Each structure stands twice: as structure tokens, then as C-alpha cells.
Chain A
Amino acid sequence: MNAPARHESYVLDDGEKAVEVIEDTKIPNAATIKIVKQDHTLGNMLRAQLLAMPQVLFAGYKVPHPLHPYFIIKIQTDGTVTPQKILEQACTKLIGTMSSLETKFKREFSYKDVEGTAGGVTAATGEDPYGTTGGAWGRGGDYLDII
């Protein structure tokens, strides 16, 4: 009855800010960034990406409590860029990796599709290596082509 709405753990409330930056007053070039409604999926990935960047002296994240849907990431840089900026760069870099991976996946999937039909194995059994076109499996294939 008093249960909070199920989506509250991953959807921002009205007017809620996705990111809050707390600059560190005692450590130079350091900031703690609270990222709301996100979890280890993003936190760990960002931490690893930040550590791989030469300007970063320290990067660590934690989810303070499993029932509180946010994580904090602490970043210290060498002073050439602000922590916010470097986090932004890390995100951009990850997006780049992700989209290059996307292209590669697309290509790989299309190869497999061609192989499958050419081999005739899948056609004979009525199996569709995509698993997304036709029949009970919907029409995800067409949709993916739109993007």
C-alpha cells in the first residue's frame, strides 16, 4: 500500500536533476558527482573509462545504499581539465566505442543472416537466424533497419 511506484528507482521525478556536482574544497581539482537514478551499470563503466584517461588522478564510484537509486563518483584530475569536463569526455568516448561496436554488430549479424540463408540449413528447418523476423517472433528486423 505504501510501496513507492515501481519506476521510481530508475525514472527521474518531475524537476529532479540527473546530476549534482559537489566540488571538493580541500582537494584540488576534485569533485564528487552524484548521478541520480543510475546504478553500477553506468558507474563502473565510467570509473573504468576515467581511470584509463591520463588526466585523471583518481576516480572511484559507489552506490551508498542498495535501496537508494543513485551513485556517486569522485574524480580528481591533474588540473588540465575540470572533473565535470573529464566526465563528459569519458561519456563521449564511451558513446564512441558503443557506436563503433554497434556498427560491427550490425555487420556481423548481417553476415550471419546471409550465411544462414545461403547455406539453406536454416531455411530447411524454417528457422530464422535473426529470430526477429516473421512469425511469432515479431518484426524486429525491419525496425532495426530503420535506425
Chain B
Amino acid sequence: MQGHDDGEPTVRIREVKKDRVNFVLGNVDLAFANSLRRVMMADIPTVAIDMVEIETNTSVLPDEFIAHRLGMVPLVSANCDEAIRYTRDCVCLAGCSFCSMILELKVSCHDDNTMDVTSDHLEVVPFPPDEESADPGEELSKRGEWFGHPVGKHDRNVPPVLITKIRKGQELKIRCIAKKGIAKEHAKFSPCSAVSFEYDPHNKLRHTTYWYETDIKGEWPLSENAKEEEAPRDDEPFNFNAKPNKFYFEVETDGSLGPQEVVMKGLAELQTKLANLILGLKIGGADQIDIMPDDVPVPHVPPPDNAWSGGDPNTWGMHAGSASGGSSSGWSQTSPTRGGAGSQWSNDASWGGATGTAGWASASSPQTNGWKQ
């Protein structure tokens, strides 16, 4: 990695608890550490209630309110990779025992006290045989004892999740279907409840600017992690070549997966992404090279269409290089996105129109007559 790629990455776990791990990652660069953080938060599959069929709801909360709350309940998802399929990959039509779990919530209040309906009332029920898919699969045997059950249901020490409160005569009869998904689809699938990520606790790199009234040191107490690093001297000159090198993580899970599983799966997921990219380059690159010399100006892909939507790739290719060279090609257009680590082009801002790249720069006037000819 930049500046220190000879060194192997290091890791030191400071604390592991049932639902959290605190570790220090060293000798990697910021982008790498951030990717690990992102992947742990958004790319690890878990199961969560995804569809809710409400038979009776006489509680004070409307159906959709309850459905939403049910979706948020963390379900035990250990070994999700092997224990359950995505419905989109399954042979069944809408859901079967291999790609979903059924949980039922059947409660009614008969006494004069207000009753709490909690995640402990959710019961996992087996799939009805008529909806069972005939496809043999070993998913079921890979499931742990409590797979798909609400987290903490079988542990007295874990307080359950309150769903609603009902009074005498009120009733809930609900059938929920839990499915596998990732947090990019819906945040309820995230195994992490919080991931803290810190580097450079003394702000030596000046990646941030602290606002202060009179005394910066008095008003901004140092974090615990500051003890890990040497404080800068007051007269120390700013080192603009310095790079962050130590990253303090605390990964807290909601209980659907253990902290170890989250970290290990996160790393595995990143590797899968990279491996797929290599594969894609091998496949895509091969035929790309064959075809490119024949019709060079025709890009295989429509260019990023933020500047000119609906440009047919062929028309666009014909005009590559012929239209007036402009500076406002798609490249220099900034979209309202915020890059993972700062600016849109993290390397060279002037690169877009100034160098006049083929094709890209030529698109400065999408409204030009004859553009579509």
C-alpha cells in the first residue's frame, strides 16, 4: 500500500465480547480500511422478516407500522451462506423452506393489564408441506438450532424487542416470511448495529478541522485511541506526506451474526468481489481486444449518460472526435454523489476536459444539430 506496501497488514484485537469486537488494523491504507468497514456494514447477508401477512390486527398500531417493526427484529443468521438461499436464486416461485423461514405471531390479551408483544412471541413454524419445493438441497442440514429465530429468544439475559402493546380484547395474528438479503437492499439486513472507525486521533494529518471558541485542546477532548499514538509536539511542523496507518475499529453486531463471523465474512466478501473482477477482466477483456481494432470508434458501452441521456452508442461513436472539443464532457460533470473518500476524482481534478480524451471531450454539445444523424 502507498508508502508502506512492503509491510504486511497487522491486526490486534483489543476486546471481544458476545456482540462486539474492538481491533486495531495497521499497515494498510485508508481506502482498504474503509472498504472493510463498508463491506461489513452493507454486504454481509443475514435473514430478516421481509413479508408480513396480517390476518388480524386489532392493536392500536396500523398494519404497516407493525410490519415495519417486525422487519427490524434481528434473526439468528449464523452460517447464512450455506443455510439459506436467496429467493431469486431458488427454484421455487415465491418462497420455500430453502429460501425462506416462516414466523408466526399469535397473541391476544385476555386480562386487564396491558400486555407487551415482543420478539419472543414470534414462533418459527415449519413450512407447510404443500408449499414445499421438491428440490433437494442440503441447506436445512446446515442450519443451527436457532437459525431464523429472533435474537435472544432463548436467552433469559437478553431483553426481547418490543413490537407493540395490546390491551384486553385486542389481538394480533400475523404470519411473517423471513428471507435472506444484504443491507444494500434494506438496512434491516445489516448484521452491524454500529461500526466505529477512527484514525489519527491527534489529527496530525489535518483531515478534519476542529471548530473552537478559545482553546482547541480544552474543547476537544482526545479519544481513548489517542493513547495508542504519540501526541505531536506543539511546534511540530506539518508533515504533508504522512499517511494514516493505524485504524481503530469497533464492530458491534445486532446479534444476528457474531462479531467474528462479521469480520471474517467481510474479508471473504471483499475477496469475492475482487475475484469476480479478475474473472470479468479475463472474460470481458478477451473479446474486447478482438473486436476493438475493427471498429475502434464504437465503444461497446454507452458512455456514462449523466451529461447526455439517451445517446445511442453507435451514433455517439460515429461522432467521437468530430464534434467540438469541449471542456464539459461527462467527466467534468460532477454528480451529487459523495465519494467514499472525499472528492469525485480522488487523484487529478484537471484530468477531464483539459487533456481532451477521445470521445469523452467531444460530447460537449449534446444539443448540436446533427448530433443524432
CA distance A94 to B1 in the complex (A): 9
Comparing B56-64, B212-220, B300-308, the segment that makes contact with chain A is B300-308
Range of interface residues on chain B?
35 or more
Q: A62-B344, A131-B19 are in contact. Are A137 and B88 (CB under 8 A)?
A: no
Neighbour of B259 across the interface among A17, A64, A131, A138, CB < 8 A: A131
On whether the beta carbons of B258 and A66 are closer than 8 Å, the reply is no
Distance of B45 from chain A, by nearest CB (Å): 11
**Residues on B with beta carbons closer than 8 Å to the beta carbon of A42:** 35, 273-274, 277
Which of chain B's residues have a CB closer than 8 A to the CB of A137?
18, 76, 78, 255, 258
Closest to B288 in A: A21
B366 on interface, CB distance cutoff 8 Å:
no
* Contact call A52/B346, Cβ cutoff below 8 A: no
B336–A66 touching, CB < 8 Å = yes
Complex Cα spacing A47 to B2, Å: 11
* CB-based contact A48/B32 at 8 Å: yes
Q: Is the CB of A108 within 8 A of B23?
A: yes
Q: Taking the complex as formed, is A141 at the interface, i.e. its CB lies under 8 A from any CB of chain B? A: yes
Contact with A along B295-319 (1 / 0, CB 8 A): 0110111001010000000000000
Known: A7-B88, A58-B348, A105-B263. A127 touches B17 (CB 8 A): yes
- Report the minimum CB–CB distance from A97 to chain B (whole Å): 6
Alpha-carbon separation in the docked complex, A74 to B329 (Å): 15
Inter-chain contact A48/B30, CB cutoff 8 Å: yes
Q: How far is the CA of A127 from the CA of B20 in the complex (A)?
A: 12
Chain B proximity of A86: nearest CB distance (Å): 10
Asked if A102 is an interface residue, CB under 8 A from chain B, the answer is yes
Q: Helix, strand, loop or mixed for chain B's interface?
A: loop
A106 to chain B, nearest CB (A): 7
Q: Is the CB of B264 within 8 A of A98?
A: no
A61, B277: Cα distance in complex, Å: 15
Given A7-B88, A101-B9, A109-B260, residue A17 in contact with residue B280 (CB < 8 A): yes
Residues of chain A with a CB closer than 8 A to B5's CB? 52
Instruction: Answer whether residue A78 sits at the interface, using C-beta atoms and an 8 A cutoff.
Output: no
> Is B339 on the interface with A (CB-CB < 8 A)?
yes
A143 in contact with B82 (CB, 8 Å): yes
User: Shortest Cβ distance from B76 into chain A, in angstroms?
Assistant: 5
Chain A residues whose C-beta falls within 8 Å of the C-beta of B86 in the assembled complex: 7
A62 proximity list for chain B (CB < 8 A): 337, 339, 344-345
Q: How far is the CA of A41 from the CA of B359 in the complex (A)?
A: 28
Q: Using known A-B contacts A108-B11, A137-B255, determine if residue A144 contacts B149 with beta carbons closer than 8 Å.
A: no
CB <8 Å contact, B28 and A47? no
A101→B11 contact, CB < 8 A: yes
Question: Cβ of B296 and Cβ of A25 under 8 Å apart?
Answer: yes
Of residues A10, A42, A135, A137, which shows the largest number of chain B Cβ atoms within 10 Å of its Cβ?
Answer: A137
Q: Is the CB of A108 within 8 A of B340?
A: no
In this complex, what residue of A is CB-closest to B270? Answer: A98
Q: Closest approach, in angstroms, between the C-beta of A70 and any C-beta of chain B?
A: 8
Contact with A along B199-227 (1 / 0, CB 8 A): 00000000000000000000000000000
A41 near B39: Cβ-Cβ < 8 Å: yes
In the assembly, what is the distance between CA of A25 and CA of B317, in Å? 12
Task: Name the CB-closest residue of B to A69.
Answer: B184
- Nearest opposing residue in chain B for A72, CB measure: B304
9 contacts between A and B (CB under 8 A): A5-B88, A7-B181, A22-B300, A47-B31, A61-B346, A88-B281, A91-B281, A94-B32, A130-B260
Interface residues of A (CB under 8 A from B): 5-7, 9-11, 17-27, 30, 33-35, 38, 40-49, 51-52, 58-66, 68, 72, 74, 84, 87-88, 91-92, 94-95, 97-102, 104-106, 108-109, 111-113, 116, 126-133, 135-141, 143-144, 147
> What 8 new A-B contacts, CB under 8 Å, besides A26-B357, A128-B18?
A6-B181, A10-B185, A19-B285, A27-B355, A40-B339, A43-B340, A52-B5, A108-B12
Interface pairs A-B: 9 shortest CB-CB: A138-B78, A132-B258, A18-B280, A40-B340, A48-B31, A19-B280, A131-B258, A140-B78, A25-B358
